[in-house]
Structure 1
């Protein structure tokens, strides 16, 4: 039995991916493959985004205020970050400066297993593109921090370190 769909254009080759609409409208296979590759790239980007979100889901960042830094291409972002006991703050960098003030302290477990206190009232500044974080909150207290970022506009707030 022969195939009921016949392509008259030699550029249009029938294959297992052809759809009757594509053949009836004389859509070249190269265009169809291009569309399918674009769709695959979209799926891969979505999966990558989901993985990044899953990595960041261990912390809760509530943005309080965002404003342009006058005369620059930067912005100021004020947030509160909560890291629940047993969760990690992944090792990451920022496209700018980060000031941190500890609202509610906790004990941090470092990658080498050493535990150190990060007490209420402690303050630190993390400079541009220098990796930091990479610890786990030990014990039963949630770590709560007020953060102020002065970062490049249009760039992600943080970049995970690979």
Structure 2
């Protein structure tokens, strides 16, 4: 299946899914983009899986935020630095993975010279937004 057809099918599927995470608009900085790829209920009716492709322009960062569930990252392109509150930064390059625990406040920055792309898979609580921006008081 060619890439255009795959993307079209993914977008049509995302548009037809009534899951909360797909239906809600999420804040994203101008230098980043989130393309929803798929969203499915799990056997456990309190959770759903949400998968997206996230891109971040060279030198750009995504602000501190958290998710109502676990996040599994696979970097497809570029070099990303993730900063978790109270921890040293973690650098993840293309072909590497990162696990983000439930509710962990974190930010991401593309430290490479090209647009970075990651595959983000979230296992989140149903009925909650995919992400919540953190305020400075949460530091």
TM-score by length of 2: 0.66
Over the aligned positions, Cα root-mean-square deviation in angstroms equals: 2.6
Give the distance between the partners of 1:56 and 1:89, measured in 2 at CA.
7
Aligned to 1:132: 106
Stretches of structure 2 lacking an aligned partner (at least 5 in a row): 1-25, 84-88
Is 1:102 equivalent to 2:107 in the alignment?
no
Q: Give the structure with the larger helix fraction.
A: 1
Instruction: Give the 3 Å change call, closer, same or farther, for CA 65–101 of structure 1 in structure 2.
Output: same
Contact preservation (8 Å) 1:96, 1:149? yes
Larger Rg: 1
Give the distance between the partners of 2:82 and 2:118, measured in 1 at CA.
17
Q: Give the structure with the larger strand fraction.
A: 2
User: Which of 29, 32, 41 is the matching residue for 1:59?
Assistant: 32
Query: Structure 1 residue 142: deviation in Å?
Result: 1.3
Is 1:90 equivalent to 2:63 in the alignment?
yes
TM-score by length of 1: 0.58
Counterparts of 1:42-81 in structure 2 under 5 Å? 53=27, 55-81=28-54
Give the count of matched residue pairs: 107
